Amino acid sequence: MTKHDESTQMAMPHDPKNTTQSMDMSQMAHSSMGHDHMQMNGHGDMGSMDMGGGHMMHMGNLRRKFWVSLILTIPIILLSPMMGMRLPFQLTFPGSDWVVALIGSVLFFYGGAPFFSGAKAELAQKKPAMMTLITMGIGVAYVYSIYAVIANDALHVTPVVTDFFWELATLIDIMLLGHWIEMNTVMNAGSAVDSLSKLLPQTAHVIAADGSVQDVALRDLQVGQTVAVRAGEQIPADATILTGRSAINESLVTGESKAVTKAVGDAVIGGSVNGTGTFTAKVTGTGDSGYLAQVMDLIQNAKQAKSQSENLANRVAGYLFYAALFVGILAFIVWLNLTSLAVALPVAVAVFVIACPHALGLAVPLVVARSTALAAQNGLLIRNRDAMERVNQLKFALMDKTGTLTQGHFQVNHLLSLDAAYSETSVLQLMANLESGSSHPLATGILTAAKAAKLTVTAATETHQETGLGQFGTIDGTTYGVVAVSYLDQHHLAYDQAQFKTLAAEGNSISFLVAGERVLGLVAQGDQIKPHAQQMVAALKRRGITPVMLTGDNQETADKVAHAIGIEHVEARLLPEDKERLVHQYQAKGQVLFIGDGVNDAPSLARADVGMAIGSGTDVAIESADIILVASDPADVIRFLDLARATNRKMTENLWWGAGYNLIAIPLAAGVLAPIGFMLDPMVGAVVMSLSTIIVAINAMTLRLKRSAD
C-alpha cells in the first residue's frame, strides 16, 4: 500500500461566511436554515422563502399577507359576481362596483407585492419564469376588472363587461395560501434535520485542574476542556476519550443502529448517547466547530444550491410565459375577429390567469427538502445536490480500498530485520518513532505493536511526508523513512521481491524502513474487509455500474481483496495523481462515481461526476466530496443510490404534473373546445391549479428511503 495514501483524518470545513458559526448549538435550532426556504427575521418569524428571482419573503409576512388578503376578499365575494353570475347571498347597491374596485386594488397591490418583486427580478435578469407568469395572470385580471368597472359605470358600454375581481381576489388568496403551504411543507420536511441541533444537553460536566467537577452551560464550553460523561447522558460536544470505556449510541447522528464501543483515544460525537459506562474526554469541537454544527451547514448549503432540475423548472416556466403570451394574444385576435371585444378580452384573461405555474414552482423544492431531511436522518449528508441527478447516468464506481472497502484497522503480522546491524525490536522502535504523530491506519498498527512490545516511543525530528511514498524524519542524526514498495522501485533500492510477493499474497500491506539507500527492515500488516463491502459491489453490478478498485497498495494485496468482494477491475500501486488521472480516463467512457476516505483522495473526489467520502465523526474527508457517508458503511453507497433514484423519480413526476396542467389548461382557456360548447373559466382553472399544487406537495412528502433488498 502506498504510505499514507488513504489517510482518513480530515477536518470538517469552516466557512467564515456562515452566520450560524457565531451561535452555540442550542441557538442553531432557530437560526438560518438556508436562504432559499427558511430564515429568521428580526421578529421571531419562523422562516422565509425565495419567491423568485432571489426575492425573499418572510414566513410571518407571508402568513400575515394571506390573512389580510383573505379578510379583504370577503366583501369582494359579497359584492362581486362569480363568473359573471350573482349568487343569492351577494349584495348590490349604488356604487358597490367602485367599492369592490377600491378593495380589489388594495388587495392587488398588497397581496400581489411578493409576486411583483419576484417578477421584477426575473425580468431584470431577462429570465421570465414563475413569478413573471403569476404577475402576468393577476395583473391582466386586475387591469381588465378596472376597465370593466369604468366601462360599465362611467362609459355605460353595452353589453355589460364582466369584471374578474372575484377571481382576482380568490386567485391571490390561493397563490399566497399555496406558498404558505409550501413553507410549512418545507419546514416540516426539514424538522428532522432541525432536531439534530436539539440533541445536545444544556450543560456539560467540566473537570477543573484541581479535579473538581463543575456544570457549565453548553455555550461556555471551550475546546480543550475535559468533561465527564456519565452513564445514559448525551455527550455534550465532539471529544476524544481520555479515560474509561463505553458503548455509544450514535443512531440519531449517523443513522447507525448498533452501539459503537469507544475506548481511550477514540473520538465521540456531540449529541450521541452514552451507554452504561462512564468516561472523561477532551473537547475537540463545540458550537460552530462541532459535528452537528457542520451537519447544519451541510444541510443549509444543500438547500441553497440550485439543482439542474430546478433550473429546468424555471426554464419550463419561462417557456410557458412565452407560450401563454403568444396563445393569449393569438386567442384575443381570433376571438375579436370572430365575436367582439367583450368576448375576446375574457378569453385572453383566462389564458394569462391559468398560466400561473404554481405547481411547477413547487415541483422540485419540496422533493429536495424531503430528500435532504431523509438523507440527514440516515447519515447521508448531501453537499452538492446536483450529484443526486447524475446517479441514473453512472457507469463506473471507482473506489479506494483501505477505510472504504476494508476496516482500516491494521495488525502487524510480520516484523523482519533486513540489515544485520538492526534487530527486529530496533526496526519497530524506529518505525514507531517516525509514526508517532500520524493517525494513518498503517501508522496506528505500528504504534499498537510498539505499545504491545512495551517500547518507549520518542517522536522523530524534522519529520515530513512525501505524498503517496512515505513518512520521513531524523533520529539521532540519521534520516529514516517508513515507505511503500513504490519508493524502493523509484529509487532502485534492492529488496527480496519473492519475499515481498509471498507476504503480499497473504493480504498484507507492507511498509519498509529505509535509511539513505539501505533497506533496514519491514512490517507486514493485515486488514479486514468491511461486512457489507461484498453486498455493495454486487448491488452496483446489478444496477449496471462497473466497480473498479483504485489503491496505492501492492498488486497482490489489492487482487486478494478485490477477488474476495467480487471486483474484476483493479489498479494498484497508485499515487494520488494516478487515481485522478484514471478517474478522468474512465469519464471518457461514462459518468463516474468515486468513493474514498482520505485527504489524498481529494483530487479524485473533485474530478468524479459524483464524489462520495466515506468516514465517521469529524474525520470525514468532505472538502471535495459531493456526498458524505457518516457511518463508514459500504451499504450506505447503495442506500444513497436508492434515495437519489427515488428523488429523481419524484422530481420527474412533479415536473410532469406541474407542466402538464399548464399545457392542457392554456389551450382550453383559449377556447380550442369552444366549437363543442366548452370554455374553461379562469376561476375553474385557478381551483384546478390549487389542487395541482396540493398534489405536488403530497407527492413530495410520500418520498421514502426504503431499505434496499440488495
Could you read off the pLDDT of 382-400 as tens digits, one per residue?
777 778 888 889 999 999 8
pLDDT of residue 7: 33
* Catalytic one of 400, 559, 578, 642: 400
Q: Mean pLDDT over residues 441-466, rounded? A: 87
pLDDT in tens, 490-505: 899 999 999 998 898 8
Question: Which of 562 and 196 is assigned the larger pLDDT?
Answer: 562
Residue 3: is its pLDDT beyond 80? Answer: no
Residue 18: is its pLDDT beyond 50? Answer: no
pLDDT of residue 560: 86
Q: Which three cell numbers stand for residue 484?
A: 511503500
Q: Contact, 435 vs 518, CB < 8 A?
A: no
Distance CA 623, CA 641 (A): 21
Distances (CA, A) of 320 to 136, 195, 561: 12, 39, 55
pLDDT in tens, 616-649: 433 434 556 788 887 778 888 999 999 999 988 9
Q: Which of 40-49, 353-362, 369-378 has the lowest mean pLDDT?
A: 40-49
Domain boundaries in the chain?
A: 32-189, 199-296, 411-526
Question: Which of 339 and 345 is assigned the larger pLDDT?
Answer: 339
Question: Which of 665 and 252 is assigned the larger pLDDT?
Answer: 665
pLDDT of residue 289: 63
Q: Which distant-in-sequence residues (6+ apart) come within 8 Å of 582 by Cβ?
A: 398, 550, 571, 574
The separation between CA 628 and the C-alpha centre of its own chain, rounded to angstroms, equals 9
Query: What ranges in 80-164 are assigned the alpha helix state H?
Result: 96-111, 113-124, 130-153
Q: Contact, 523 vs 578, CB < 8 A?
A: no
Distance CA 710, CA 707 (A): 9
- Counting residues of the chain whose pLDDT is more than 70, the rounded percentage is 75
Distance CA 601, CA 595 (A): 9
| Catalytic residue list contains 266 | no
Q: What is the pTM of this model?
A: 0.57
Q: Which of 209-213, 276-280, 293-297, 406-410 has the lowest mean pLDDT?
A: 293-297
Q: Mean pLDDT over residues 314-333, rounded? A: 85
The CATH number of the domain covering residues in 411-526: 3.40.1110.10
Q: Which distant-in-sequence residues (6+ apart) come within 8 Å of 507 by Cβ?
A: 526, 527, 557, 560, 561
Its CATH class, for the domain covering 199-296, is mainly beta
